[in-house]
């Protein structure tokens, strides 16, 4: 398998999941401005949309979209419990989380990532995003991970997204000054996830620590 990634982006989520599962994949870094891989290949020829993550299977099949990729990976080793079993309510809960994270949180960041959109739109987008994080904080009041007692692929996705509010280089370049220090459950969750060996390994492999 090959995972196409941009350091510190949403592709950190499947990268963490690969490490949690102990699966080997070739990591291919993509330059987010030039859309070239490290070896100079045109990334648009891999994914015509130009975005990561993209997972290339051993038979050459390409799987796109973070929520689909992490479920595919989790299902390769169901015994590790990173995804609930198909057909159970737990699986729909997972999809509920992944849909919420992708549409309400991930894409909620977009206006903040483009400084040229600063102004009224930003003033609307930022409180919305903060409200969603506050809600996540409430959910974490009674459980250590998003789905309950154990880490799932939803935690990997949220970790990638919350990192955008933490990294100084991002907050100074973009307008991602979303802070969690007052959201104690989310803060504790972030610290809990960050020390997981698989997460540390992914951060090292992406050059982030
Ligand atoms: N719908 C896609 C969106 C992925 C996405 O927004 N990727 C960003 C990084 S977080 C990206 O690659 N941006 C570079 C670009 O669009 O050229 C998914 O959920 O996987």
Specify the residue with its C-alpha closest to ligand 1, atom 13: 51
Q: Is 55 in the pocket of ligand 1 (CB under 6 A)?
A: no
Within this chain, do residues 68 and 167 fall inside the same structural domain, yes or no?
no
* Minimum CA distance residue for ligand 1 atom 14: 51
State the Cα–Cα distance between residues 190 and 122, nearest whole angstrom. 25
Q: Indicate the DSSP class of residue 56.
A: E
Q: How large is the C-alpha radius of gyration of the chain?
A: 17
Those residues whose C-beta lies under 8 Å from the C-beta of residue 58, and which sit 6 or more positions away, are 1
Same domain for 26 and 60? Answer: yes
Instruction: Report the distance separating Cα 123 and Cα 170, nearest Å.
Output: 19
Q: Name the packing angle between helices 153-166 and 12-21 (round to 10°).
A: 140
The protein residue with its alpha carbon nearest to ligand 1, atom 15, reads 51
Query: What domain range is 142 assigned to?
Result: 84-196
Whether residue 157 sits in one domain with residue 60: no
pLDDT tens over the chain, length 209 residues:
999 999 999 999 999 999 999 999 999 999 999 999 999 999 999 999 999 999 999 999 999 999 999 999 999 999 999 999 999 999 999 999 999 999 999 998 877 776 666 566 677 888 888 899 999 999 999 999 999 999 999 999 999 999 876 655 555 555 556 777 889 999 999 999 999 999 999 999 999 88
Q: Does residue 108 line the site of ligand 1, with CB under 6 A?
A: no
- Is residue 203 one of the residues assigned to a domain? no
74 shares its domain with 111: no
Answer yes or no: is the C-beta of 6 below 6 A from any ligand 1 atom.
yes
Residue 201 belongs to a domain: no
Number of separate domains in the chain: 2
Say yes or no: CB of residue 36 within 6 Å of ligand 1.
no
CA 54 distance to own-chain centroid: 13
Cα(5) to centroid of ligand 1, in Å?
A: 10
**Does some domain include residue 208?**
no
Q: Are residues 93 and 169 in the same domain?
A: yes
Q: Phi-psi region for residue 109, left (φ > 0), alpha (ψ -120 to 50) or beta?
A: alpha
Q: Are 174 and 115 in contact (CB under 8 A)?
A: yes
Q: Which ligand 1 atom sits closest to the C-alpha of 69? A: 20
For residue 93, what are the contacts with CB-CB under 8 A and spacing of at least 6?
84, 147
Asked whether residue 105 falls in the same domain as residue 191, the answer is: yes
Cβ of 102 below 6 Å from ligand 1:
yes
- 204 located within any domain: no
pLDDT computed for residue 123 by the predictor: 76
Sequence-separated contacts (24+) of 118-125 with Cβ below 8 Å:
118/175, 122/175
52 lines ligand 1 (CB under 6 A): yes
Q: Is 156 in the pocket of ligand 1 (CB under 6 A)?
A: no
- Residues 23-52: pLDDT tens digits? 999 999 999 999 999 999 999 999 999 999
Angle separating helix axes 184-194 and 120-139, nearest 10 degrees: 80
Q: Are 131 and 109 contained in the same domain?
A: yes
Q: Which of 49, 79, 109 is the last residue of a domain?
A: 79
Q: What is the pLDDT of residues 85-106, one digit of tens each?
A: 999 999 999 999 999 999 999 9
Q: Does one domain contain both 97 and 181?
A: yes
> The pTM is what?
0.94
101 lines ligand 1 (CB under 6 A): no
């Amino acid at each position: 398998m090959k995972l196409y990634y941009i350091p510190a982006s949403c592709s950190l989520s499947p990268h963490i999941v690969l490490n949690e599962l102990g699966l080997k994949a070739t990591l291919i870094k993509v330059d987010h401005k030039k859309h070239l891989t490290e070896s100079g290949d045109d990334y648009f020829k891999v994914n015509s949309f130009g975005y990561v993550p993209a997972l290339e299977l051993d038979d050459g099949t390409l799987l796109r979209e973070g929520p689909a990729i992490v479920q595919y990976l989790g299902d390769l080793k169901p015994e590790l419990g990173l995804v609930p079993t198909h057909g159970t309510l737990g699986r729909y809960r997972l999809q509920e989380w992944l849909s919420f994270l992708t549409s309400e949180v991930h894409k909620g960041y977009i206006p903040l990532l483009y400084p040229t959109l600063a102004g009224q739109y930003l003033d609307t987008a930022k409180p919305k995003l903060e409200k969603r994080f506050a809600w996540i904080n409430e959910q974490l009041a009674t459980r250590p991970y998003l789905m309950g007692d154990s880490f799932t692929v939803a935690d990997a996705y949220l970790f990638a997204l919350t990192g955008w509010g933490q990294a100084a280089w991002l907050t100074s370049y973009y307008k991602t000054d979303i802070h969690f220090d007052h959201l104690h459950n989310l803060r504790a969750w972030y610290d809990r996830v960050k020390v997981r060996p698989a997460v540390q390994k992914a951060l090292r492999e992406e050059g982030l620590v």
